[in-house]
Each structure stands twice: as C-alpha cells, then as structure tokens.
C-alpha cells in the first residue's frame, strides 16, 4: 500500500498521532532498560505506523516512563523476538490493505468490495486523508481474508436482501464500526475511571454530552484527564478535524447506546473517585496571627493580588501601612483634584464617556504669543 501524503487521526495512527487518543498505558515505571517507540519499531523491523498499530491491537505492550513518555521494555522486546516466525508473523499481524488491494485478495471488483464495507461486512482499522482531503479507509489484511472463509456467498451472485436494504437507504457502516472498534480497544487498554469516561465521551457531540453530564466540573475533569494521557505524534489540522467529525455518533440507536455507556462509566468513576470541586482559595494563617475580626476590612488592590511573601493573612495593622487605592471621586469633583489611573478608569466607565488624559496646566501664564493653531490635547 502506498504511503499516504496527508495523515489523519486513526484508530491507532497511520502516520502521526492526533489529539483525543488516550495513552496506551498509564502505569509509571522507572526501569532504565527501556527504549523509545521509534527505536523499538526499528529493532522489531516495523515501520512506525505498523508499530503504532501493533500497540493499538495489543501485540506490543507499551508503558509510560518516568518522564511520561511511552517506553518499550527490553523484556517485551525479548518476548517478541523469541516468538516463532518473528518478524514475519508480527508484520502479517499489522498488515493493512485499501480498497484496491483488498478486492484483489478476495478476487472481486473494487465496487463490490466497497459495497461489502459500506454494509458492515468489514470493519476499518484506520483511515487517512488523500490529496483531496477525502477519507480513505484501511482494513486488516487478515480480516479481509477471513471474510472469504466465513461468508463466501457474499463474494459472488446477488447480494442478500438485508445488504440491499442497507445500501438502498444510503447507509454507511464504516464510520460506526470504526468508532466501536476504537472505543472498545482503548477501553481495554486502561483502567483509570475518568480516562474511560473521556474515551466514551468522544462519541457524543457537545450538546449530547452536556445533557448526559450536566456538571461542568466533571466535564472539565475528564477532558483534562484525556488531554494529560495523550502521547505520541500529532497529526495535521485536517486530520484532527476529520477525527473529531468521524468520532461523533450520528444514528439515533448508536447515540442512545453511547449515552447509556457514558452513564455507566460515569457512575463507576463517581463511586471510585469523585471529580474535584473548586474551593475557596485561602491564604495560610501564620502561627500566632491575631484573630480575624467578625467584620474584616475589605482590602482594595489590583485583581489577582498575592499575599506578602513569608506572611499569611494580613492583619489590620499591616493593611493601614499598605497602599490603598483611593475611592472614586463623586460626580462634580473639580478636574484639578489628583486622581490615579484606576480611579479615572472607574469614573469613565461609570459615566460611559470616552476617557482622555487631562491637559497639563502651566504653572506660570504664557507671556509670549502662541504661534500656529491652538494647543493639542493628549
């Protein structure tokens, strides 16, 4: 199969990693006898996209190193090398074909192969974008060959009635089967409760997601967990957009099933580890600090002001010595009264007028006649 020029998001990775794909394994290990995925792919005699597919299918176990990046242990490399038929067996496991090559394997035309895939007889394992930004589906060669053994009646003669009904209504089961395969495999690769929620939540659009998970803090929490678990190479912008579009369920029965699955995963996550709630941020109280009065004075200052270094909650005696922004002058205050920038901003916002800097007034009146026009304002 020719290498695509434009990569996109996949069930594993065709040429690059995209956003939204969780990490393969969340186990942290500090063993030094581990190599990076690129080096592991070279030593195993695989291309990088073939190695990523092997990881996705569970043929190669990858763990997170101390720095959070995926690593392959030497024990895993030795296990793969010790298997019979290495490396041909491993390459055959991850071999993929497109429509033309898959049709040649089955001895049928590409049109009939496409009809079989659209009807759901074949499940794509990945996709990529061609030069015209069109989605091109990719299948496992061993699954294509297994179809000829399992259902030879589909390769010759007229199509069965159920298949004709699906195709006549314009149905295309390739995105749906790819979503199911991807979600099931990613769920099998992790046991983190909130990461499992993030995986299932990818199949719902924002409106459906807000209806199922009405708590915004929980949505932020599992979205953050999914982003923190991302690893690998990122794909192109067009690939990430296609990935997000294809991940959303579009049929009513599939949407209902994904909603039910998300509710089940969400209940399990809430029971094991509830999502954190934002609390009031309070400065640490120093030892021997005076008691805070019942009605403490309100401190004025710029937004996001931090407490003094080396001290806790500021006492009233210390606030009297700290600079305090004066209150905004009332309407009608003389223009010559001193006013800070923040005060002028507040006053201008309250009046709804355009702010201007006050003109400088000369301390001594001018004795010489002006030349030219009038003085310019600030």
pLDDT > 90? residue 140: yes
Q: What is the pLDDT of residues 194-242, one digit of tens each?
A: 999 999 999 999 999 999 999 999 999 888 887 766 655 567 788 888 9
Average per-residue pLDDT in the chain? 74
Contact, 92 vs 106, CB < 8 A? no
In angstroms, rounded to a whole number, what is the distance separating the alpha carbons of residues 166 and 107?
23
DSSP type of residue 152: G
Query: Hey, which of 24-28, 86-90, 303-307, 331-335 has the most confident mean pLDDT?
Result: 86-90
CA distances for 281 relative to 274, 277, 307, 313, angstroms: 20, 12, 12, 12
Beta-bridged to residue 128, according to DSSP, are 136
Lowest mean pLDDT among 16-20, 61-65, 99-103, 256-260: 16-20
DSSP type of residue 250: -
Angle at which helix 99-106 crosses helix 141-150, to 10 degrees, equals: 40
Percent of the chain past pLDDT 90, that is, above it, reads: 45
In angstroms, rounded to a whole number, what is the distance separating the alpha carbons of residues 323 and 374?
39
Instruction: Report the pLDDT value the prediction gives residue 247, as an integer from 0 to 100.
Output: 92
Structure-block tokens of residue 199: 């995986």
In angstroms, rounded to a whole number, what is the distance separating the alpha carbons of residues 288 and 270?
40
Percent of the chain past pLDDT 70, that is, above it, reads: 63
Contact, 6 vs 130, CB < 8 A? yes
Lowest mean pLDDT among 34-43, 207-216, 318-327: 318-327
DSSP-derived 3-state class of residue 226? helix
Instruction: Report the pLDDT value the prediction gives residue 315, as an integer from 0 to 100.
Output: 36
Q: How many CB atoms lie within 10 A of CB 153?
A: 9
Query: Hey, which of 14-23, 121-130, 228-237 has the most confident mean pLDDT?
Result: 121-130
Lowest mean pLDDT among 27-31, 59-63, 140-144, 265-269: 27-31
pLDDT average, residue stretch 271-283:
72
Contact, 313 vs 307, CB < 8 A? yes
- Regarding pTM above 0.85, the answer is no
Q: What is the pLDDT of residues 150-197, one digit of tens each?
A: 999 999 989 999 999 999 988 899 999 999 999 999 898 888 999 999
pLDDT > 90? residue 326: no
Q: What is the pLDDT of residues 51-65, one digit of tens each?
A: 999 998 889 998 877
Give the pLDDT band of residue 305 (cuts 50, 70, 90): very low
Query: Does the bond joining 85 to the residue before it have cis omega, within 30 degrees of 0?
Result: no
- Between these two residues, 318 and 362, which has the higher pLDDT value? 362
- Strand 96-97: give its sheet, edge to edge: 96-97, 135-140, 126-129
In angstroms, rounded to a whole number, what is the distance separating the alpha carbons of residues 140 and 120?
14
Q: What is the pLDDT of residues 331-361, one digit of tens each?
A: 444 444 445 555 555 555 555 544 444 455 5
Instruction: Report the pLDDT value the prediction gives residue 114, as an integer from 0 to 100.
Output: 96
Instruction: Report the pLDDT value the prediction gives residue 255, as an integer from 0 to 100.
Output: 95
Instruction: Report the pLDDT value the prediction gives residue 286, as an integer from 0 to 100.
Output: 41
Its sign, for the CA torsion 307, 309, 312, 318, is: negative
Dmax over CA atoms of the chain, in Å, equals: 109
Contact, 10 vs 127, CB < 8 A? yes
Instruction: Report the pLDDT value the prediction gives residue 108, as an integer from 0 to 100.
Output: 95
Q: How many CB atoms lie within 10 A of CB 191?
A: 11
Contact, 234 vs 16, CB < 8 A? yes
Contact, 14 vs 2, CB < 8 A? no
Chain center to CA of 186: 14
In angstroms, rounded to a whole number, what is the distance separating the alpha carbons of residues 186 and 22?
7
Lowest mean pLDDT among 206-210, 277-281, 318-322: 318-322
pLDDT > 80? residue 106: yes
Residues with Cβ < 8 Å from 280, sequence gap 6 or more? none
Structure-block tokens of residue 132: 């015209």
């Amino acid at each position: 199969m020719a290498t695509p020029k434009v990569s996109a998001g996949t069930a594993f990775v065709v040429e690059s990693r995209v956003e939204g794909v969780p990490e393969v394994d969340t186990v942290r290990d500090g063993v030094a006898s581990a190599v990076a995925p690129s080096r592991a792919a070279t030593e195993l005699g695989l291309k990088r996209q073939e190695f990523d597919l092997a990881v996705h299918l569970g043929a190669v176990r990858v763990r997170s190193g101390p720095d959070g990046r995926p690593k392959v242990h030497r024990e895993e490399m030795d296990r793969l090398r010790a298997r019979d038929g290495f490396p041909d067996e491993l390459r055959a496991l991850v071999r993929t074909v497109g429509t033309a090559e898959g049709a040649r394997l089955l001895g049928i035309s590409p049109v009939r192969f496409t009809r079989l895939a659209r009807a759901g007889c074949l499940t794509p394992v990945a996709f990529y974008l061609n030069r015209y930004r069109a989605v091109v589906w990719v299948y496992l060669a061993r699954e294509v060959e297994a179809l000829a053994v399992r259902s030879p009646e589909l390769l010759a003669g007229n199509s069965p009635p159920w298949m004709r009904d699906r195709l006549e209504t314009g149905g295309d089961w390739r995105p749906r089967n790819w979503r199911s395969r991807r979600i099931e495999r990613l769920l099998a690769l992790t046991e983190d409760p909130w990461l499992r929620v993030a995986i299932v939540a990818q199949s719902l659009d924002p409106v459906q997601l807000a209806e199922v998970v009405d708590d915004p803090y929980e949505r932020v929490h599992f979205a953050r967990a999914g982003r923190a678990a991302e690893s690998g190479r990122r794909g192109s912008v067009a690939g990430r957009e296609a990935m997000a579009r294809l991940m959303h369920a579009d049929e009513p029965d599939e949407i209902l099933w994904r909603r039910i699955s998300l509710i089940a995963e969400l209940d399990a996550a809430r029971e094991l580890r509830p999502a954190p709630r934002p609390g009031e941020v309070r400065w640490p109280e120093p030892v021997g600090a005076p008691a805070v009065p019942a009605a403490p004075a309100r401190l004025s200052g710029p937004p996001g002001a931090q407490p003094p270094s080396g001290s806790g909650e500021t006492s009233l005696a210390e606030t009297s010595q700290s600079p305090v922004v004066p209150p905004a002058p009332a309407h009608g205050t003389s223009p010559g009264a001193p006013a800070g920038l923040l005060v002028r901003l507040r006053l201008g916002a309250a009046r709804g007028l355009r702010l201007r800097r006050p003109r400088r007034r000369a301390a001594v009146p001018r004795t010489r006649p002006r030349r030219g026009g009038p003085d310019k304002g600030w």
